[in-house]
Amino acid sequence: MTRVLKFGGAGLRDGAAVQRSAELVAREAARGRVLVVVSAQEGVTVRLAEAVQAAVRGDLEPWNGLRVRHRTVLTQLGLEGDLLDRHLFELRAILAEIGTQGRAERRMSDFVLSFGERMSARVMAAVLRRLGLSASPLDAYDLGLTTASKRGEAALLSPPTAALRRALEAVPGVAVVTGFLALDSAGHLTTLGRNGSDLSAVWFGEAVGAEEVVLWKTVDGFRTADPHVVANTRRLAALGRDEAIEFAVNGAAILHAGALEPAARANLTVRVTDVRDPDGPGTRIDDRSAVDGPLGLAHRESVALWHETLSLGRDLGEQVAEVAAQLEPERLAFQGHELCALVSDDKRVAALAESRAPRARLERGLASIAVVGRGVGEDTELAERVSAIARSHGIELAPVPGGQNPSSLAYLLPRPALATVLQALHDVLFGGAETLVPQPRPESSAART
């Protein structure tokens, strides 16, 4: 049985990080067959996206930065300096072509983005070979990873085929596959959205019937809350797929939410673990959570609510689809002709709201919080308790539109209150430090739906 090992950008940040990750692969490969999936080096995908924008203006300078970055890693690793030249020069030619055209179609920009993972796979395979393993870099799109949809929505991956499984089994030694990349239904290279390599890894796990997919990151797993915002958080040893999905869709950026879809299809165990602590237990994502009740808190720091009155004369579904396509909302609900969407609070959305006024109205300055755990969405007593905790800090929580789910309770609140309310909820629900003293309801509530 194969184990899939996926390395995120942080685990490939520089020469030392790549070396450490490769040594981990060698260690695991000594125990059984492994399939490796890699992201681009940390920050490279963002740099490539910037390089596209600059190329449209005829500026190829960002390419230089990318070249130096990759060359430096090769030097740090003591690999041949020209290992990535073919890719780097092809990348330069594409950027120049974008400059000539003065614009970058999605196909072109996806092509540019693909170089991060493609170069990463070459570097990892070269280090593995130096460690004495036989290893081959492979591009996922050559292996038939096909999405049914446009970029970023690639949770709609077609299930892997038996032919793919055979192709992977035929690879001698360790296959090092690019994450994040696929073909669209028309056969063009496409990308799977931020953190898309998680999705690739689980999809390949499904393809080879893996016993486990390990996502090596620079976090030690899921925690009771984001440790950057909340004190005294604890690592969760295990959780169910439904709860992992709720953490992800409510803003805990640990894992690509879509990754759990192939995991569910193939009933795969996924483990999130820390490259810096290879023997640490991490968090195991099982079919189903072993415990009921609250597991942790997820949050989004900056969200807005979009309200729109849809036209009476036009097809409702068509209008909803149009708004959804433009807004890319986190959540969406509608009642009668009133549509309400949870969106990110940014300039693009604000400009869109202005262009669709007065039908559309944007309520800005919000944050969202979710209590995640098996069955919490149906626990009215818990919901009252959560509201009372917030109220004791003068905050009235409002429900997230379209946020109902058996494994989460999701709320909106004014952004400035986020840290206080998160900590208070954490202390009461997971810290056991404070007892709850409910206080009278405040005069006004800032977050309304």
45 vs 283, beta carbon nearer ligand ASP: 45
| Residues binding Mg ion (CB under 5 A) | 8-9, 39
> Token match 């915002």: residue?
229
179 scored as a contact of ligand ASP (CB under 6 A): yes
Binding status of residue 45 toward ligand ASP by CB under 6 A? yes
Phi, psi of 379, rounded to the nearest 5 degrees: -95, 95
> Collapsing DSSP states into helix, strand and coil, what is residue 187?
coil
Residue with smaller CB distance to ligand ASP, 184 or 308:
184
User: Is residue 368 a contact partner of residue 447, using CB atoms and an 8 Å limit?
Assistant: no
CB 314 within 8 A of CB 323: no
Write out the binding residues for ligand ASP, residues 211-240 only, by CB under 6 A.
Answer: none
Question: Minimum distance from CB of 396 to ligand ASP (Å)?
Answer: 36
Q: How far is the CB of 179 from ligand ASP (least distance, A)?
A: 5
In the complex, least distance from residue 102 CB atom to Mg ion, rounded to whole angstroms: 30
CB of 179 to Mg ion, least distance (A): 8
- Please, which of residues 98-137 interact with ligand ASP by CB under 6 A? 116
Dist CA 263 CA 204 (whole Å): 10
- Residue nearest Mg ion, Cβ-based: 9
Tell me if 262 contacts ligand ASP by CB under 6 A.
no
Give the CA distances from residue 93 to residues 51, 190, 212, 330, 448, in Å, rounded to whole numbers and listed in that order: 12, 19, 40, 37, 51
Q: Applying CB under 6 A, which of residues 4, 18, 22, 40 lies at the interface with ligand ASP?
A: 40
Determine, following the binding rule CB under 6 A, whether residue 39 of this chain makes contact with ligand ASP: yes
Closer residue to ligand ASP, CB minimum distance, 178 or 405: 178
DSSP state of 335: E
- CB-side neighbour CA atoms (13 Å) of 312: 0
Q: Smallest distance, Å, CB 112 to ligand ASP? A: 12
User: Could you tell me which residues come within 8 angstroms of residue 397 by beta carbon, excluding any fewer than 6 positions away?
Assistant: 369, 386, 387, 390, 411, 412, 413, 421, 447
Please, are residues 325 and 318 in contact by the beta-carbon 8 Å criterion? no
In the complex, minimum distance from the CB of residue 197 to Mg ion, in angstroms, rounded to a whole number: 6
Q: Which residues pair with 34 in a beta bridge?
A: 3
Would residue 187 be called left, alpha or beta, if left means φ above 0 and alpha means ψ between -120 and 50 degrees? left
Residue 41 or residue 368: which is nearer to Mg ion going by CB? Answer: 41
Distance CA 191, CA 283 (A): 27
Residue type, 405: N
Strand-pair category, 338-344 with 293-309: antiparallel
Binding-site size, ligand ASP (CB under 6 A): 12
- Partner from Mg ion, ligand ASP, none contacting 147, C-beta within 5 to 8 A by type: none
Q: Which two tokens stand for residue 147?
A: 């999405």
The single-letter code of the amino acid at 100 is T
Identity of the residue, 146 or 387, whose beta carbon is nearer to ligand ASP in the bound complex: 146
Cβ closest to ligand ASP, residue 39 vs residue 387: 39
Choose from ligand ASP, Mg ion, none: what does 234 bind? Cβ within 5-8 Å by kind: none
Instruction: Find the binder of ligand ASP among 109, 195, 250, 289 (CB under 6 A).
Output: 195
Indicate which of Mg ion, ligand ASP, none lies near residue 111 (CB less than 5 to 8 Å, by partner kind). none
Say which residue the tokens 């569910």 belong to: 264
By CB under 6 A, name the binding residues for ligand ASP.
Answer: 8-9, 39-40, 45, 116, 179-180, 194-197
